[in-house]
A and B are shown apart, each in its own frame.
Chain A
Amino acid sequence: MKKILIITIAFVGALGVYNAKAWGHQAHGTTAYIAEQHLTPEAKKKAHYYLKHTLPYYASWMDAWKFSTKFRQVNSWHTGVAMEDGVNYNMKSSKFPGRVMRHLVKALAELGDGKYKNLPDSVVRQRLINMIHYVGDLHCPCHINFPKETFPHYRYSLNNNGKRLSFHRYWDGSLAWQGRGEWTYEEFATLVDKVSPEQVAVWQSGTLEDWGRDIVKLGHRAHEITTEGMDVSKMTKEQKAASIALTDEAILMGGYRLAYVLNTIFSDGNIKTYNEE
């Protein structure tokens, strides 16, 4: 009997993994879809040339491959860390988990200013695949970690109807928790992408350092909305609305910025990392 139970649990677990709707799949794909809609014709043509696919197709490629031995190092390239002041993004952290921004900076240095033209197509393709994922992960509200020295109160869990639920798990799968787990990318774009040109200009301006500060703010908002021990099955109308607003903003901000990154690269420009450069 015990054997049956173990087999059943293993099976259910396996199916759960395949059916999971985490930020990693749905939100990543949606972010990439938003970006695809706002590429210049030139950038779209070049992106499709290198990728041989649309942007959303590769949005979760890094998640799909991180289980393979040769790619295990990419498992730590998905999150970032805030500075101790809780305002700035740690742009130079060489330790886990501060790597996603470092790799975006590295990829921009390799591809920007027209340098992509001097690289083999396969290298450009791989960098693009990674960048699609980096920009999505950068904007996920739970992919910014806060130093435990200055933010010990940010280390907590939530609960779902009495069962422990990690803060990370809620925000990774926030679209599904918000009842939008079955939405297609097109539905999200049609219903949610109503961003004004002024707002887009604000999001796409500045340096990566500036973008990092926005991302730190997204992280703080997530902690303000889902506080320690909160039962996510009993959220108030206001809390649900705040949760939806944050998810939407993170996806849209990421999507418009990814479009900007690719439009810039394919018009032979680059994005500055620091304001002091």
Chain B
Amino acid sequence: MKRVILFIAVVLVGTGVASAWSRVYDKAVLEVAYQSMDEKTQQLVVKYVGEDYTKPAGHLAWHRKNGRMLETAGWHTLHLDANLQPAAKDENDALVQTEKALQIIRNRKSYDNEEVAMAIRIVMNLVIDMHNLSNVKIEGIELSGTDFKVGTSKGTSGGRTAKITPYSWKSLWTSRYNTYHGAYSPQMYAEDIKIMFGNKREEFSRGSLNDWVHDIGLYTKQAYDVLEQNNRQFLHKTIQEHEEFHMSCLARASYRLAALLNETLK
């Protein structure tokens, strides 16, 4: 019986997560990142990945869906220890794979164009992935990954008590905040990211990749602590209050990706 319930839940949650919303976020990040790159970097990005510089969004997932690059399935997770320092145990880690791809980009003269293009696509995918809080796994924190369940609402609507519904940690950070912006295009999100966080570009992109990873760990921990304080149930109000925080994750990913490519493609 439990297996049947689990199967139904997995199928339905999977359906929600697999919706196109998260791809909109990916493309928005690539849009803002491109606009924040140096002119020379922009030219090189177009040279390697093509005129549609947002096309690499979801590139690894697209390959896996078509039975290729199956070894990349675990690359999107960022592993951190209790002190929020990198703690990868093997190569299935966003930071490890990002660093490997960056090495290829830095030494691009030793590789053919397609290998460099793939490395750029990998960096684009993984920098976005590591800024999605549901991809961060912190040692010692139980269920900080994809199987964390939260309640979404408690309150009233039209005099009726709103239901507390099961929701996954992954869905929350992957697609929940698109609920009220369903018709948003990547360009619209990009516009909003720039209006909201354009003045924080330097602040967000300051430091090294390791500093950023620590930063990501900090705000994952903060969000997790809020959840713990609320008995693992996010109230509707709390979810709404985290929307700007979620947008800041998109902004951080955008400006950091631009900084990384500016540095490695110079």
Residues of A bordering B, CB below 8 Å = 3-4, 7-8, 10-15, 18-19, 21, 25-26, 29-30, 33, 48, 51-54, 56-57, 59-61, 63-70, 72, 75, 183-186
B156 nearest CB neighbor, chain A only = A72
Which among B73-81, B92-100, B174-182 touches the partner chain?
B174-182
| B153 sits at the interface (CB 8 A) | yes
Residues of chain B within 8 A of A64, CB atoms compared = 179-180, 240
The residue from A14, A57, A60, A183 contacting B192, defined by CB atoms under 8 A apart: A57
Minimum CB distance partner of B162 in chain A: A67
For B195, give its contact among A12, A54, A72, A183 (CB under 8 Å).
A54
What is the CB-to-nearest-CB distance from B50 to chain A, in angstroms, rounded to a whole number? 22
Interface centre among A3, A60, A64, A183 (most CB of B within 10 A): A64
CA distance A7 to B11 in the complex (A): 13
B168-191 interface mask toward A, CB cutoff 8 Å, 1 = contact, 0 = none? Answer: 000000011001111111011001
Which B-chain residue is minimally distant from A184 (CB atoms)?
A: B185
Whether A56 contacts B236 by the Cβ 8 Å rule is no
Question: Are the C-beta atoms of A66 and B157 separated by less than 8 Å?
Answer: yes
Flag if A26 contacts B188 (CB, 8 Å). Answer: no
Give the contacting residue for A67; candidates B19, B155, B175, B185; CB below 8 A: B155
Is A19 in contact with B180, judged by CB distance below 8 angstroms?
A: no
30 A-B residue pairs with CB within 8 Å: A3-B1, A7-B8, A7-B9, A8-B8, A10-B163, A12-B12, A14-B165, A18-B175, A18-B176, A21-B183, A25-B179, A26-B182, A29-B181, A48-B195, A51-B195, A52-B195, A56-B188, A61-B180, A63-B180, A67-B153, A67-B155, A67-B156, A67-B162, A67-B236, A68-B240, A69-B237, A70-B237, A72-B156, A184-B185, A185-B184
Contacts A25-B181, A68-B237; A186 near B155 (Cβ below 8 A): no
**Chain A residues within 8 Å of B152, by CB:** 14
**Min CB gap B64→A, angstroms:** 24
Is the CB–CB distance between B183 and A30 below 8 Å? yes
> Bound state CA distance, A251 and B199, in angstroms?
33
Q: How far is the CB of A78 from chain B (nearest CB, A)?
A: 10
Q: In the assembled complex, how far is the CB of residue A196 from the closest CB belonging to chain B, in whole angstroms?
A: 25
Given known A15-B16, A18-B176, A25-B181, contact A68–B235 (CB-CB < 8 A) = yes
Known: A8-B8, A25-B180, A185-B183. A54 touches B188 (CB 8 A): yes
10 additional contacts (CB under 8 A) given A10-B163, A29-B184:
A3-B5, A4-B5, A15-B12, A18-B176, A54-B188, A54-B195, A67-B155, A69-B154, A69-B237, A184-B184
B196 within 8 A of A: yes
The smallest C-beta distance from A185 to any residue of chain B, in angstroms, reads 6
Please state if A29 and B16 are interface contacts (CB–CB under 8 Å): no
Inter-chain contact total with CB atoms closer than 8 Å: 110
Task: List A contacts of B207 (CB < 8 A).
Answer: none
CB neighbours (8 Å) of A21 from chain B are 182-183
Centre residue among B156, B157, B182 by max chain A CB count within 10 A: B182
Residue pair A68, B155 in contact (C-beta under 8 Å): yes
In the bound assembly, the distance between CA atoms of A183 and B167 in angstroms comes to 27
Contacts of A68 in B (CB 8 A): 155, 235-237, 240
How far is A12 from B181 in the complex, measured between Cα atoms in Å? 21
Instruction: Tell me the complex Cα distance, A26–B158, Å.
Output: 22
CA distance A184 to B20 in the complex (A): 13
What residue in chain B is nearest A30 (Cβ atoms)?
B183
Given A15-B12, A25-B183, A29-B184, A53:B155 Cβ within 8 A:
no
B157 close to A67 (CB less than 8 A): yes
Q: Is the CB of A56 within 8 A of B180?
A: no
Give the residues in chain A near B16, CB-CB below 8 Å: 15, 18-19
- A76 (CB) vs chain B CBs: closest residue: B158
Cβ of B184 and Cβ of A14 under 8 Å apart?
no
Does A53 contact B184, Cβ atoms closer than 8 Å?
A: no
Closest to A183 in B: B183
Q: Is B192's CB under 8 angstroms from A54's CB?
A: yes
Interface centre among B154, B157, B185, B188 (most CB of A within 10 A): B188
**What CA separation (Å) do A11 and B240 show in the bound complex?**
21
A54-B15 Cα distance, complex, nearest whole Å: 30
Candidates A13, A65, A184; contact of B188 at CB < 8 Å: A184
Contact digits for B212-245, partner A, Cβ 8 Å, 1 yes 0 no: 0000000000000000000000011100100000
Q: Which residues of B contact A11 (CB under 8 A)?
A: 8-9, 12, 166
CB distance from A177 to the nearest CB of B (A): 15
Q: What CA separation (Å) do A53 and B197 show in the bound complex?
A: 10
Per the bound structure, the CA–CA distance linking A12 and B163 in Å amounts to 13
Distance of B137 from chain A, by nearest CB (Å): 25
Nearest-neighbor residue (CB-CB) of A182 within chain B: B183
| CA gap between A72 and B155 in the complex, in Å | 8
A56 to B236, CA, bound (A): 21
Is B166 a contact of A184 with CB atoms below 8 Å? Answer: no
Complex contact A14–B180 (CB within 8 A): no
